[in-house]
Structure 1
Amino acid sequence: MSWWINGGVWKMMTMAMIISFVQAENPYRFFDWKITYGTISPLGIPLRGILINGQYPGPEIYSVTNDNLIINVHNELDQPFLLSWNGVQLRKNSYQDGVYGTTCPIPPGKNYTYALQVKDQIGSFFYFPSLAVQKAAGGFGGFRILSRPGIPVPFPEPAGDCTFLIGDWFEDDHKYLKAVLDRGHKLPLPQGVLINGKGVSFSSSLTVHKGKTYRFRISNVGLQNTLNFEIDGHEMKLVEVEGTHTVQSIYTSLDIHVGQSYSVLVTMDQPDKDYPIIVSTKFAAKKLLVSSILHYSNSRHRLSSASVHVEPPADELDWSIKQARSIRTNLTASGPRPNPQGSYHYGRIKISRTVILGSSAALVKRKQRYAINGVSFVPADTPLKLADYFKINGVFKVGSIPDKPRRRGGMVMKTSVMGAQHRDFLEIVFQNREKIVQSYHLDGYSFWVVGMDKGRWSHASRREYNLRDAVSRSTTQVYPESWTAVYVALDNVGMWNLRSEYWARQYLGQQFYLRVYSSAHSLRDEYLLPKNALLCGRASDKHTPFITP
């Protein structure tokens, strides 16, 4: 086993040297993953997919709060590859974030070992390939973080714990989709919707026992569509959203936007027969639907495709906004530590700065581009975090994206980086003037979703904020011609990606990096560059620091 570093092969160091920056007293879990191409047929048509250890979707990561995860990734594709960890907060360690702004890609035929610590976290998340449009071919999987023994969970132990990875699906090869975007065109509409890699209705089933309660973790790993999840005849009790225990409200269906993860409890209290689990598109020009089977163990009644139907609400937008506002934090539940989650009260902290982020779409030199505040992100020739660490000039400029939408001039193309200070407390307003639902994600953080409404945000909108029990999460939707406001405490030093989760928009510029800076340069605030870090671009001739065991 070896690591590719600085253009050559460096023999495997001792494990203690690799992971010297994580806390040695916590347990370790080791993973060895081979990334390959393989034939998959989600809609019955053979396609080239991205597999992990021969699996599509990839293996699920099981972990416990504060575990150290050592994930050795062998790239056997014909192109560079990176994995990112959607919603997993890598404390003090943006080097392991797995996006191009922080990490050099793993070259074909080489490997890289991620060293992560899921510090002070619980919840349901997922991982995915972050380069180009590889996400459209697979390479994703579930990521669950369980509570430590002795930390109370606000519901009884379920009889089973199942993950549903749902997403829209394109029948075109991921390289073709990238070429479409590179030529300046929009992506075509998706051809289907998948549940755990399957897009043919009733191609999979889940057997349950009457009277038992099961936990279902649901993540939207798709490229662009909001999806609605429901189980015919059954109610879902929401218990967790991206690491936050929620008020346990009851829903018959849930809108899950791109990049979001939900966790529900479902009690099998219906007559013994089969029921469809239905995933369908929302706010989409083309209605798509797929279903699998919830099979009661004593059922003799089999479903047919005619059994599946969806009756959308009369006003999808108002219904969805009302549901989103109803999702709140359970202030009586423990988080990853015994103290109540509400003890750190975000509603009483003074705002350091207000940032208003507006999206836009335009043609630049006859090619489709997307932007935030009029700036369309252009990847640099060197990962920004490495350029910052080695003080390489000319790669990016802090402040290259404004705090508010540009009022004049056309769209500009830059390697946009917003600067912020460690311990600042930000109010971020996502203003959407377009007629589509948008979805935004911030790596390295969870934020409180304090408000959302139709129309244009103003200072008076703060009167509508939930300053008591707003849900804390890492991905939020912004409805058409609407706004969403979040609060975020900048307690995690590093270079963090803020992006659209609509992947074509992200790829064509609707993203930037938030540089959270501390002048202390202390290991209490941020870990050193890992010894096994890949070096590329203008950092190729640099040297990683020597770390003693």
Structure 2
Amino acid sequence: MKLQGSGFGQLYVLCLAFAAVVVVKAEDPYRFFNWNITYGDISPLGFRQQGILINGQFPGPDIYSITNDNLVINVFNNLDEPFLLSWNGVQHRRNSYLDGVYGTTCPIPPGKNFTYNLQVKDQIGSFFYFPSLALHKAAGGFGGIRILSRPRIPVPFPDPDGDFTILIGDWFKYDHRILKAVLDGGHKLPSPDGILINGRGPGGASFTVEQGKTYRFRISNVGLQNSLNFGIQGHKMKLVEVEGTHTIQTIYESLDVHVGQSYSVLVTMDQPAQDFYIAVSSRFTDKILTSTATLHYSNSNKAVSGPIPVGPTEIDWSINQARSIRTNLTASGPRPNPQGSYHYGLINITRTVKLVSSAALLNGKQRYAVNSVSFVPADTPLKLADYFKIGGVFRVGSISDNPIGLYMYLDTSVMGADHRDFVEVVFENHEDILQSWHVDGYAFWVVGMNAGLWTPNSREEYNLRDAVSRSTTQVYPRSWTAIYMAHDNVGMWNVRSENWGRQYLGQQFYLRVYTPGNSTRDELPIPKNALLCGRAQGKNTSQLDSLFY
């Protein structure tokens, strides 16, 4: 083809053509999933229950991806009730519409489908997905997510010879509808009946390995309320990653994994050719529940034997282990720069927020709260109400930055936050149980934890150099945990207790990170296929942008 016009015009046309080719070639890969959500019979503890299956599987299939991949997950809800999936630890950069919790996303109605379009932008690591409505999490519907680094960005350890997902969690023999009715009736959940490892009870799961090789185990606690200790009989574990952060490679004999948390460890098969216990036991409970799986050497000549390993019982042991988990400052993250290049300890704090949990009877029913506010879901997802400017759904500032000393009360609590603020958040636990807290859409630095009440002097013991960055942190009984968080992700984000009974009965709120600008650099548009419900139903969607950004 002959180009017409001046030399500048020819050059301009050539540049446009070249740019178009670059854009097409530079587009990040897409991975497509079709998931069918159904009920099915399961027997994880030896008696039949109704579980939630994904494509007939319990637990659901692993999501395998690479940094910056676009994940297109088409979910068909064949349950007899609404359903939502949430992506624990996956940050949904600039896009809280797809977070998969009721405060941001309308549920998928029975018999309908919805397509999640997620990009694992600038993220690596080990995470999981789970159903967020009602008590569906007590019936299954969860699975692992692994996000690998791009090939040109090195990881700080050799490629393992195998990569296993291990989903651990407490389990109840009661149907999830019964558990929901218990909570709706104003009562606490009973104690769990057992512990599952990849959806199986004691002795049910098995992992085959080869002697002399090294394997990666991605461990996630997908349970409802119990912290768990994980260990492998006769083997040491080298911690290498926590929820997207490469860590100092510390050796542990066992590892405390609190509800909602994920860890990656490397284990070398350096023992004699036989089978070994993989042991998981409950922590900080009056009755210790234990479950096992089998680590099977392919050339094994001896069945598993000996006492089942049980983790330490002291809280101090757990606290010291938590403090020892630190960021590997020399390792690359999902971008080709060291993780330690972001000097969080040198940034001025713009705001301090103290969050105190509480439990009480309200109108004769059990409720849980944060800063005296027990969250009540609105009739419309808060993000949709915000987008369509629907009044009366929520009020920014309906939860305070600090405990206010009032009796517990009900509200749809939303805390306002400004984009680009750098915030100190203190979780203070006045109760005798261990708590676990999660912030959707974010990773934060766990800078300190200790017994007693937090005071400004507590900052003197903060780790301001290499604290681990993660999305879920524990708060020990009668203790505090402090985090630093950069408000760099605009949207409406759920802050919640990972103890699911407490979350269901009010121990959560939403963080509205706001910017007055209207740029897609700060926040992506509402998806074209967004489900509309509540007072947003029937709104004009002709202005909605394309599903694929």
| TM band (smaller chain) | over 0.9
Corresponding residue SS for 1:214: strand
Quick one: distance in 1 between partners of 2:373 and 2:27? 44
Q: Counterpart of 1:335?
A: 333
Q: Counterpart of 1:241?
A: 242
Q: Counterpart of 2:271?
A: 270
Cα deviation, residue 285, structure 1: 2.1
Cα deviation, residue 207, structure 1: 1.3
Task: Determine which of 296, 319, 322 is the counterpart of 2:320.
Answer: 322
Distance verdict in 2 for CA 1:94–1:311, change over 3 Å:
closer
Q: Percent identity of the aligned residues? A: 73
Amino acid corresponding to residue 348 of structure 1 in structure 2: L
> Gaps (5+ residues) in structure 1?
1-21
Corresponding residue SS for 1:418: strand
Greater alpha carbon shift after TM alignment, 291-300 vs 454-463: 291-300
Cα deviation, residue 23, structure 1: 11
Greater alpha carbon shift after TM alignment, 97-106 vs 536-545: 536-545
Quick one: distance in 1 between partners of 2:115 and 2:504? 25
Amino acid corresponding to residue 341 of structure 2 in structure 1: S
What does 1:349-388 correspond to in 2, within 5 Å? 349-388=347-386
Distance verdict in 2 for CA 1:308–1:345, change over 3 Å:
same
Structure 1 runs (4+) deviating above 4 angstroms are none
Task: Determine which of 398, 410, 415 is the counterpart of 1:413.
Answer: 410
Is contact 2:527-2:544 (8 Å) kept? no
Task: Give the length in aligned residue pairs.
Answer: 523
Q: Counterpart of 1:463?
A: 460
Quick one: distance in 2 between partners of 1:430 and 1:513? 15
1:521 matches 2:518: yes
Quick one: distance in 2 between partners of 1:174 and 1:398? 33
TM-score normalised by L of structure 2: 0.94
Is contact 2:124-2:333 (8 Å) kept? yes
Is contact 2:280-2:310 (8 Å) kept? no
Q: Counterpart of 1:217?
A: 218
Cα deviation, residue 203, structure 1: 1.9
1:228 matches 2:229: yes
Quick one: distance in 1 between partners of 2:205 and 2:336? 39
Q: Counterpart of 2:31?
A: 29
Distance verdict in 2 for CA 1:337–1:140, change over 3 Å:
same
| Deviations, residues 377-426 of structure 1 (Å, cap 9, x unaligned) | 0000000000000000000000000111122x310100000000000001
Quick one: distance in 2 between partners of 1:311 and 1:336? 36
| Deviations, residues 405-453 of structure 1 (Å, cap 9, x unaligned) | 122x310100000000000001000000100000000000000000000
Quick one: distance in 1 between partners of 2:106 and 2:315? 40
1:279 matches 2:280: yes
Distance verdict in 2 for CA 1:474–1:546, change over 3 Å:
closer
Quick one: distance in 2 between partners of 1:433 and 1:478? 10
Q: Counterpart of 1:84?
A: 86
Corresponding residue SS for 2:321: helix
Task: Determine which of 51, 54, 62 is the counterpart of 2:53.
Answer: 51
Q: Counterpart of 2:309?
A: 310
> Gaps (5+ residues) in structure 2?
1-23
Distance verdict in 2 for CA 1:311–1:145, change over 3 Å:
closer
Corresponding residue SS for 2:92: coil
Is contact 2:216-2:267 (8 Å) kept? yes
Greater alpha carbon shift after TM alignment, 118-127 vs 534-543: 534-543
Quick one: distance in 2 between partners of 1:530 and 1:207? 43
Q: Counterpart of 1:256?
A: 257
Quick one: distance in 1 between partners of 2:102 and 2:206? 38
- Higher Cα Rg, which structure: 2
Quick one: distance in 2 between partners of 1:311 and 1:25? 49
1:475 matches 2:476: no
Q: Counterpart of 1:424?
A: 421
Quick one: distance in 1 between partners of 2:121 and 2:311? 40
Is contact 2:83-2:133 (8 Å) kept? yes
Distance verdict in 2 for CA 1:445–1:283, change over 3 Å:
same
Q: Counterpart of 1:402?
A: 400
Q: Counterpart of 1:140?
A: 142
Distance verdict in 2 for CA 1:24–1:140, change over 3 Å:
farther
Quick one: distance in 2 between partners of 1:45 and 1:370? 32
Amino acid corresponding to residue 421 of structure 1 in structure 2: D
